[in-house]
Amino acid sequence: MGRGKEGQEVSFRGIIKGRWPGWSHNQLERANQMDGIINVKKEAGMTSHDVVFKLRKILGTKKIGHGGTLDPDVVGVLPIAVGKATRMVEFMQDEGKIYEGEITLGFSTTTEDASGDVVERTPVEAPLDVAEVDRIIAQMVGEIEQVPPMYSAVKVNGRKLYEYARAGEEVERPVRQVTIYDFTRTSEISYEEGLARFCFRVKCSKGTYIRTLSVDLGQKLGYAAHMSHLTRTSAAGLSLDDALTLEEVAEKVAQGDLSFLHPLEIGTGDLEKVELTAEEVGEVQVGRFIPVESEARELAAFYHGRLVAILEKRDNLYKPRKVFLIESVIQ
């Protein structure tokens, strides 16, 4: 719900359907064809599903999805796809993400972050060798194996791991391969009452648990550890500097301002881009394979800056996997 000009409550679903007198015809037309990507700043205490649920009410549409789950305690960029852009969600999730956070050495927790109960204490009684810390951090860059935390949404035998954890049950967890593109200490190491803390920045692939990365780093340094703070600063090519809170999105909607919607082209993220000719666009639109000089498994195909399709490699040709531009471009 929002506030009208006289302070009355206004249904955002009503706004989209045209019952908001402050909107022009063009604004209403655009709202009824709402497609795009929203750069939402998720605040602490909310799940990613909470954000989607609230945005459905704000925007008056059910066709919404998010581009990468964030834990409730984590603040930061949550890309939201609306309308036709929901077909880009899987590619938005594939793109590398950037986080800034803090690691605390000295005790571990049940959840691997600051919200859990203490499991083990290993007091830090002497200053750490800074060069050794940085050397071990550097060793963790590249493809690594992770065992997801018990308090996570990874499913084992049809149940989420956190369901086992809450029931006090242990279960064998699958080992997963993830990629750490960059991992850097970004602050001095501080010491207080048997604890050591420092900040970091990491760019990683989808499926990476930064909590687990923090715990694993602590183990390599010889200490129990946990992730004490985390912010996602970038995802799907969107930056935290430009992100809007749900309240800010709601205010813009109430004013008839949909400028927060980014074009779905942003969702192509790290995919290799290729420009098609008008003839190739026509071939792709009817599902035909086309030759493209590339070794990439998937390509984002464009025509004059507009996303035509996502192409998938099949032998020496590329097949349209998802087509977005359906109108003819041949003059």
Task: Return the active site residues.
Answer: 71
Q: Which of 90, 79, 100, 51 is nearest to 207 (CA)?
A: 90
Which SS3 state, helix, strand or coil, does residue 19 take?
coil
* Amino acid letter, residue 198: F
C-alpha distances in angstroms, 198 versus 38, 226, 231, 269? 32, 11, 14, 30
The torsion of the CA quartet 284, 262, 245, 17, rounded to 10 degrees, works out to -80
| Angle formed at CA 248 by CA 245 and CA 251, multiple of 5 degrees | 150
Strand partners, 82: 36, 64
Determine what percent of the chain falls in helix, strand and coil, rounding each to the nearest 5.
Answer: 25, 35, 40
Residue 275: half-sphere exposure toward Cβ, Cα within 13 Å: 2
In this structure, what DSSP letter does residue 310 have?
E
Q: Residue 217: helix, strand or coil by DSSP?
A: helix
Token pair of 71 as six digits: 């834990």
154: left (phi over 0), alpha (psi -120 to 50) or beta: beta
